[in-house]
């Protein structure tokens, strides 16, 4: 790899996951920057021990992944700028060979603002929730509309798009990608493994909180860039807000009509499972995943409500953590 490359890793209380992340980057980039969002563990000390440049976010503004990436990039500008910048979350490790593949893909097309690849879950067998994440990362290669936070970005594209927006606490990568494409840049996923992620979701409560965060992202990014996330918001309103409200109403006034609510959720569950099977998932796994995907609309609706309540009250958008 001859191109000049920098890596910006972000994290908060990642512990051993951050140590593994930085170890996977040793000797593979000209600069490695770690941005810490108020960790109370040894993350900062561990990053310095690994030779990374450390940026510690101040507590005077809300911590968000978007803010961490933006301040990491601003720190990067204090020195010679690289040709490409790889962003990575601190709970991921970079797969050997990824950076070379991504640089080659960037160099092959000067209009590519972002190159991304396949994120995989390290321990999908540890829980149903981890396994759900593993499937979530499985997306087709080629030109795409948006991608997750693990991405290799061309600095010119980053700056023309305006960088990450601190106020976006979930789906901040989607929001950034929308603005980048509006500037005429493309986003491309190559068929290569990029990172291995450690979701570490072992409890139902973690999954529920993560689904709340997703709903917040649907509402916030959809509000900022309509009609983005319009379909997702519509499904959430139907199955996560209107249908549960009707269920409570029928429970108090006409219990027999609860059969209709059960039928509606059953149909949604069945259609979701069949869609997963059609995409190549084995039936037993699809039926398990469909339970959570059907149920997720309720915490998604809570997340959407939290965003609009904060927006109407003029409140800051605070981070929603699940681990």
> Do residues 90 and 142 share a domain?
yes
Residues, the chain:
323
Q: What is the dihedral angle through the alpha carbons of 134, 271, 263, 215, rounded to the nearest 10 degrees?
A: 50
- Residue 321 in any domain: the answer is no
Residue bearing tokens 């549960």: 244
> At which of 201, 223, 241 does a domain end?
201
Q: What is the pLDDT of residues 36-77, one digit of tens each?
A: 999 999 999 999 999 999 999 999 999 999 999 999 999 999
What single-letter DSSP state applies at residue 34?
E
Mean pLDDT of 95-117: 97
| Predicted local distance difference test score (pLDDT) of residue 3 | 66
Rounded to a whole number of angstroms, the distance between the first and last alpha carbons of the chain is 35
> Do residues 18 and 99 share a domain?
yes
Q: Is the pLDDT of residue 278 over 60?
A: yes
| Predicted local distance difference test score (pLDDT) of residue 323 | 78
- Residue 269 in any domain: the answer is yes
Do residues 306 and 220 touch, judged by C-beta distance below 8 A?
A: no
Q: How far apart are CA 124 and CA 177, in angstroms?
A: 27
> At which of 138, 168, 201 does a domain end?
201
> Do residues 61 and 148 share a domain?
yes
Q: How far apart are CA 29 and CA 81, in angstroms?
A: 13
- Residue 229 in any domain: the answer is yes
Q: Is the pLDDT of residue 320 over 90?
A: no
Count how many Cα atoms sit within 13 Å of the Cα of residue 83 in the half-sphere of its side chain: 16
Buried b (16+ CB within 10 A) or exposed e, 38-70: ebeeebbebbeebebbbbebeeeeebbbbbbbb
> At which of 172, 201, 230 does a domain end?
201
Average pLDDT, the chain: 95
Q: Give the rounded percent of residues in the chain with a pLDDT score beyond 70.
A: 99
Q: What is the pLDDT of residues 8-44, one digit of tens each?
A: 999 999 999 999 999 999 999 999 999 999 999 999 9
What single-letter DSSP state applies at residue 132?
H
Task: Kindly tell me the sign of the dihedral angle through the C-alpha atoms of 221, 222, 224, 228.
Answer: positive
> Do residues 196 and 213 share a domain?
no
> Do residues 175 and 226 share a domain?
no
Strands (E), the chain: 5-11, 31-36, 53-56, 84-89, 92-94, 112-121, 142-144, 151-153, 186-197
- Residue 318 in any domain: the answer is no
> Do residues 37 and 67 share a domain?
yes
| Predicted local distance difference test score (pLDDT) of residue 180 | 98
Mean pLDDT of 263-288: 95
- Structure-token pair, residue 284: 């037993």
Mean pLDDT of 107-132: 96
> Do residues 13 and 106 share a domain?
yes
> Do residues 123 and 179 share a domain?
yes
> Do residues 184 and 281 share a domain?
no
- Residue 323 in any domain: the answer is no
Domain of 141 in residue numbering reads as 5-201
Which of these, 61, 16, 9, lies nearest to 43 by C-alpha position? 16
> Do residues 285 and 245 share a domain?
yes
> Do residues 110 and 23 share a domain?
yes
Mean pLDDT of 239-263: 95
CATH number reported for the structural domain that contains residue 164 in this entry: 3.90.550.10
- Residue 322 in any domain: the answer is no
> How many structural domains is the chain composed of?
2
Task: Kindly tell me the sign of the dihedral angle through the C-alpha atoms of 240, 299, 148, 222.
Answer: positive
Quick one: which H or E segment has residue 289? helix 283-295
| Predicted local distance difference test score (pLDDT) of residue 322 | 86
Do residues 134 and 121 touch, judged by C-beta distance below 8 A?
A: yes
The predicted model scores a pTM of: 0.93
Facing residues of 5 across strands?
84
Q: How far apart are CA 55 and CA 256, in angstroms?
A: 59
> Do residues 180 and 255 share a domain?
no
Burial class (CB in 10 A: 0-12, 13-18, 19+), 286: buried
183 — pLDDT class (breaks 50, 70, 90): very high
Q: What is the pLDDT of residues 192-228, one digit of tens each?
A: 999 999 999 999 999 999 999 999 999 999 999 999 9
- Residue 187 in any domain: the answer is yes
- Residue 47 in any domain: the answer is yes
């Amino acid at each position: 790899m001859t191109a000049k490359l920098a890596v910006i890793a972000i994290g908060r209380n990642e512990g051993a996951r951050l140590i593994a992340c930085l170890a996977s980057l040793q000797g593979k980039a000209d600069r490695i920057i770690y941005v810490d969002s108020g960790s109370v563990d040894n993350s900062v000390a561990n990053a310095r021990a690994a030779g990374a440049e450390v940026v510690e976010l101040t507590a005077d503004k809300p911590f968000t992944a978007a803010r961490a990436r933006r301040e990491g990039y601003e720190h990067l500008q204090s020195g010679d700028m690289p040709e490409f910048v790889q962003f990575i979350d601190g709970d991921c490790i970079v797969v050997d060979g990824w950076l070379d593949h991504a640089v080659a893909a960037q160099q092959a097309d000067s209009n590519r603002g972002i190159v991304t690849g396949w994120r995989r879950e390290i321990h999908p067998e540890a829980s149903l929730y981890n396994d759900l994440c593993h499937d979530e990362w499985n997306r087709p290669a080629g030109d795409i509309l948006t991608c997750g936070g693990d991405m290799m970005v061309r600095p010119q594209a980053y700056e023309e798009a305006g960088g990450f927006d601190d106020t976006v606490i979930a789906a901040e990568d989607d929001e950034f990608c929308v603005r980048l494409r509006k500037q005429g840049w493309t986003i491309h996923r190559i068929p290569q493994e990029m990172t291995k992620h450690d979701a570490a979701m072992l409890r139902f409560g973690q999954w529920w909180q993560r689904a709340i965060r997703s709903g917040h992202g649907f509402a916030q990014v959809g509000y900022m860039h309509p009609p983005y996330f319009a379909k997702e918001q519509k499904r959430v309103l139907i199955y996560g807000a209107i249908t549960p409200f009707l269920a409570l109403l029928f429970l108090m006034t006409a219990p027999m009509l609860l059969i209709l609510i059960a039928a509606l959720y059953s149909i949604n569950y069945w259609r979701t499972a069949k869609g997963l099977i059609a995409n190549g998932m084995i039936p037993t796994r699809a039926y398990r995943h469909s339970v959570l995907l059907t149920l997720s609309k309720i915490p998604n609706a809570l997340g959407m409500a939290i965003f609009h309540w904060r927006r109407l009250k003029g409140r800051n958008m605070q981070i929603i953590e699940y681990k």
